[in-house]
Amino acid sequence: MSSDTPAKMTPLSTLIFSSRWLQLPLYLGLIIAQGVYVILFMKELIHLISGATSLSEQLIMLAVLGLIDVVMISNLLVMVIVGGYETFVSRLRLQGHPDQPEWLSHVNATVLKVKLAMAIIGISSIHLLKTFIAISALGTDDSGYTTEGVMWQTIIHVVFILSAMGIAWTDYLMSKTLKGH
């Protein structure tokens, strides 16, 4: 038997291996969710354009941060859809395609986790920045933000950062251990 011939699989191993295709509807659902984010982006962009002459600088900044937030969440969806499908379901066979994302050539579950953690930190940063700007733009009485709410948002953001550092540290230790063997 040559190395190019796939090994014969038992019916149970075939069933277990084929079960990965059950994730396909999940990825298709995420593609639909991304379409919803495109609609949200367009709605917010139209709102920003229509209010460009009447909105204050802080409100324009909040609207732009909202647009950036939508883009970052959409980027997160692309990473999950493309990276998850490639890692857990089937190869996309994009080698040599001019639009192949650079990160996809070396994606695995750990790399995907680190990239997702970094994207979540970016999204959390935007939300935190929006909170701080909203408080300064609208004043603490009218903004709807409480001191306790801002504190919890900040704590959650720090937890996201610490979690990402933990994931990256674990990945570093695992890669160091694998190189040693």
**In this predicted model, what pLDDT tens digit does every residue of 120-162 receive, in sequence order?**
888 888 888 888 877 766 555 455 667 788 888 899 999 999 9
Q: How far apart are CA 112 and CA 87, in angstroms?
A: 9
Model confidence pLDDT, tens digit, residues 41-73: 999 999 999 999 998 888 888 889 889 989 989
Q: Which residue has the higher pLDDT, 120 or 105?
A: 120
1 falls within a domain: no
Cβ-contact 98, 79 below 8 angstroms = no
**What confidence score (pLDDT) does residue 143 get?**
53
- Kindly write down the DSSP assignment for every residue of 84-105, as one continuous string: HIIIII-----TT-TT--GGGG
Model confidence pLDDT, tens digit, residues 164-173: 888 888 888 8
Structural domain total, the chain: 1
Q: How far apart are CA 135 and CA 137, in angstroms?
A: 6
In this prediction the pTM is 0.71
4 falls within a domain: no
Cβ-Cβ contacts under 8 Å for 55 (sequence gap 6 or more): 48, 63
Residue type present at position 67? L
pLDDT band, very low/low/confident/very high, at 15 (cuts 50, 70, 90) = very high
58 falls within a domain: yes
CB hemisphere CA count around 103 (13 angstroms): 17
Range(s) of the domain holding residue 134 = 11-180
CB hemisphere CA count around 40 (13 angstroms): 16
